[in-house]
Structure 1
Amino acid sequence: MAQSAELTAAERYFDAIRAALEGLSVFLNNRESPLNKHDLVAQTVAEYLQRLTASFECWRNRIGFTERFRISRSDSGFPVFQNVLELENDKKGAAGRLASIPDADSLRAEMADFILRHRAFPAELQKSMAERVYLETVQQGEVFSPFLLPVTIRVAVNPKTGRPYYVVHWGAFDGTSNLPLVYMAVVEDSSGDMVDTLVRDGKLNTDVRIPLPVGGLLNPELARRFDDFAARNSAYSLSPVTIATSLDKDFPELHPKQLRRIVLGPFYTAGITEHNQRVAEVLAKVRRPEDAWLLTWTLQEVFSTAEKPGRRGLWSSEPSQEVFHINTDDLEAARQGVSHYEQHALVPHEAYQALYASGEASTIFTGFQTHILSNGQVISGV
């Protein structure tokens, strides 16, 4: 009985998170979406959202043959990091495990024969079928890994400095906060070879064909080090200004002009998450479980306002240094270590009505840009 209740709760959770991710996808694809005012942000987040959706589809299949699935009930509302690690490990070993499981047609035939002979449900065969479906999904889909390597998606030239600059993104699933994170950076490159190759008459050299997107940083001499840096410096506990400052310090040839971090979550769903009792009590009154959720995310940004020139001397020298702006007039921005931040909340229409009727909406959504999902469309600016 306890196991049945647990599976029911799991199904309710997966229904809710699927609805939330589908709603966020609708929001990102809307040209009027607030995120579309930020160059390339909506497009980039959508790519990681596809990976996250694939991961949840895998986890949903996984509970058909194993009971090991936990979410961060009192923190993020997302799966705990161990599930992400197991998914990554299963992806690597999927081919070998599939080879040891009968094909789908054979399993269906065995299940039908079992039912006819024993007049009972073939639970073990069903688990084998669920494992096969899971492994096939893992093998085919691009999931949200613990760390997703940087990708260069744009190259241009800053006419003021005469340097090429890259727009690079990467992702990470933070193991402490259990939150999916997406990073985007605009980085100028003063490496002599790259300037000579990519810049002509102050503009991008059109004779150089660049098949974007390019895996890793476009500069091949720095690409591996940049991968390593991103892997070591993508923790949620690190503020954006800390990451940007470290990048500026570790790479004299690179000049980070902007760093964005999109934090997906927390996610709230009725009867499962416990990180906000006030929200939980109101969501519990929503009639349809797949509408009893609330998804939040935060866009953080730090940018450089100036570049302090480097100094070369006979006995010592100093590289150039970016001057990052922190909005000290906003206490929350100062706490986050950012120049600017935005908090967003996506909620189904029925859940928003319940929150509004309870008198809690204004309190819960204070400081958030609120977006309501209704009949397959997202209404912003509520």
Structure 2
Amino acid sequence: MSINHIVTPLDSAYLDSKDQYVFYHKMVDFALKELIVSAQRDNLCTHQELIFFKQYADLLLYSIEAMRVKYMYDEEENMKVDLTESGFPNYLEFRYLFNDLSLKENYVNKLKDVSELQEEFLDTLLRKKEAIKKSRLFQAASIVYYTSVEQKFIFNRFVQGKIIKAPENSAAEFMTSWSFFDVGCNRPFVCYMYFDFEGTNIETIKTQIYEVLKNTADREMNLDVMAYGIDRKLKDIKPKHIKRIDLGPFHNVFAKDENQITHAILKNIADKVVPLESYALSLSIDEVFSGSEFSEGGYFSKQILQKWKEPIHQSFVLAPHRIIQLLYSKTPEIMNSLAKPPIQIADLKISKV
């Protein structure tokens, strides 16, 4: 199937050919790398936040590459790109990948010997002058997948970062980060929390902090609600600043949602005004800071909690120059409501030969 014939019906978004897997992977890989560069260049993150952000982005890229290898020659299963305002693989794809790799030892023992497969390929190509069957290519891809992909690097529903000393001039003494893939909207989020600790040794409650974050801050919600939940469950810490980055939607030819930016790009791809690989990435940053304190509970169970200021919401759009021009023409109200003018990133060039 030619790359020029990519079709994703409105009611589904299956990647069903080698060309589509390669094409989609290149798009996501390119867009996320451009995002990392822009986050630093346009001061969307501090230096330390950017280090954590890149680590989570690398896990996401690693997982999508693993999906590409797993599905490329599989005639029975197809990878699904989410249809909601996402543009990323459906969350279940990450779940399937993680569960599948937990059984990798069972599969590895059943795989054909690599040298035997190599000899068969050489014989087919050089002596018989025939194309290698898809079933055999799938076997080869399975060998690469099960022998090289590590389960611990798959982007899971919740990924916890370490607690470290916060950089100088931060809002608090310590900071930590975490990332989650929200099942409802099928988008990845990266979060940071700056906090003070009232005890003597932070090591004694690290496990407790990680557990509370996993159970309280693992989905999209109002940021002040998240902050209050964390504060109430951790009596020895005082959160001072929480920041959340929402990655997406990723607007591209595979996305079929109600978002105006997605529709503008899809229509102009269909009209051949812009190329098939045209894309844009929306990004939202929400922050909340603590103000004064208040007490909650009775005399014997009183707890001092933070009173949170009004959350700050900022929206951004990253896109190549031609797409920025297009969006100003087709969706001016969105462009004019951004926290700053659209951030220009590089054009993606994919050969369609």
TM-score range (shorter-chain normalised) is: 0.7 to 0.9
The structural deviation recorded for 1:94 is 3.1
Q: Which residue identity does 2:26 align to in structure 1?
A: D
Shift of 1:307: 2.3
Q: Give the Cα–Cα distance (whole angstroms) in 2 for the partners of residues 136 and 273 of structure 1.
A: 35
Change in Cα spacing, 1:156 to 1:372, as seen in structure 2 (3 Å) is: closer
Corresponding position: 1:112 with 2:151 = no
1:289 corresponds to which residue? 276
Is 1:324 the equivalent of 2:308? yes
CA distance in structure 2 between the aligned counterparts of 1:134 and 1:94, rounded to whole angstroms = 9
Whether contact under 8 Å (1:150, 1:230) holds in the other structure is no
SS in 1 for 2:66: helix
> Structure 1 residue 26: deviation in Å?
2.2
Show the 5 A alignment for 1:304-319: 304-308=290-294, 313=299, 316-319=300-303
Separation of aligned partners in 2, 1:140 and 1:236: 22
Q: State which of 79, 84, 87 in structure 1 corresponds to 2:97.
A: 87
How many angstroms does 1:110 deviate by? 1.7
Q: Structure 1 pair 320/69, CA: closer, same or farther in 2 (3 Å)?
A: same
In the alignment, which residue of structure 2 is the partner of 1:129? 140
Q: Deviations over 1:171-220 (max 9, x none)?
A: 111112111111110121112x33xxxxxxxxxxxxxxxxxxxxxxxx23
- TM-superposition CA deviations, 1:105-137 (whole Å, max 9, x none): 432222222344483422211001112222344
The match for 1:252 is 235
My pick for the range that moved more, 227-236 or 77-86, is 227-236
Q: Which amino acid aligns with 1:347?
A: A
Please state how far the C-alpha of 1:152 moved relative to its aligned partner: 1.2
One of 347, 353, 360 as aligned partner of 2:319: 347
Amino acid at match of 2:197: D
The answer (yes or no) to whether the contact 2:180–2:188 under 8 Å persists in 1 is yes
2:43 paired residue among 34, 57, 71: 34
Q: Which amino acid aligns with 2:117?
A: L
Sequence identity of aligned pairs in percent? 21
Match of 1:371 among 338, 343, 346: 343
* Counterpart Cα distance in 2 of 1:156 and 1:253: 21
Q: Report whether the alignment pairs 1:138 with 2:149.
A: yes
Worse-matched range after superposition: 366-375 or 54-63: 366-375
Computed over aligned residues only, the root mean square deviation of the Cα atoms, in angstroms, reads 3.1
Q: What SS does the corresponding residue of 2:140 show, helix, strand or coil?
A: helix
1:168 Cα deviation after fit? 0.5
CA distance in 1, matches of 2:134, 2:100: 22
**Contact in 1 for aligned 2:188/2:247 (Cα 8 Å):** yes
Confirm or deny: 8 A CA contact 1:172 1:181 kept in the other structure: yes
Deviation at 1:342, TM superposition (A): 1.6
> Which residue is equivalent to 2:24?
13
Name structure 1 gaps, 5 residues minimum.
195-218, 327-337, 377-382
Give the match's secondary structure for 2:191: strand
Q: How many residues align?
A: 328
Going from structure 1 to structure 2, the CA distance change for 1:354 and 1:134 (only over 3 Å counts) comes to farther
Within a 5 Å distance, the mapping from 1:180-329 to structure 2 comes to: 180-191=188-199, 193-194=200-201, 219-270=202-253, 272-276=255-259, 277-284=263-270, 285-290=272-277, 292-308=278-294, 313=299, 316-326=300-310
SS in 1 for 2:103: helix
Task: Give the TM-score normalised by the residue count of structure 2.
Answer: 0.81
Task: List alignment gaps of at least 5 residues for structure 2.
Answer: 7-15, 349-353
Look up the equivalent residue of 1:320 and give its one-letter code: I
Deviation at 1:165, TM superposition (A): 2.8
Q: Which amino acid aligns with 1:85?
A: R
| Contact 1:90–1:138 (Cα < 8 Å) also in 2 | no
Report the Cα distance in structure 2 between the residues aligned to 1:39 and 1:29, rounded to whole angstroms: 7
Does 50-59 or 133-142 show the bigger shift? 133-142
Q: Is the 8 A contact 1:170 1:183 kept in 2?
A: yes
Q: Report SS of the residue matched to 1:77.
A: coil
Distance 1:158 1:348 in 2: 34
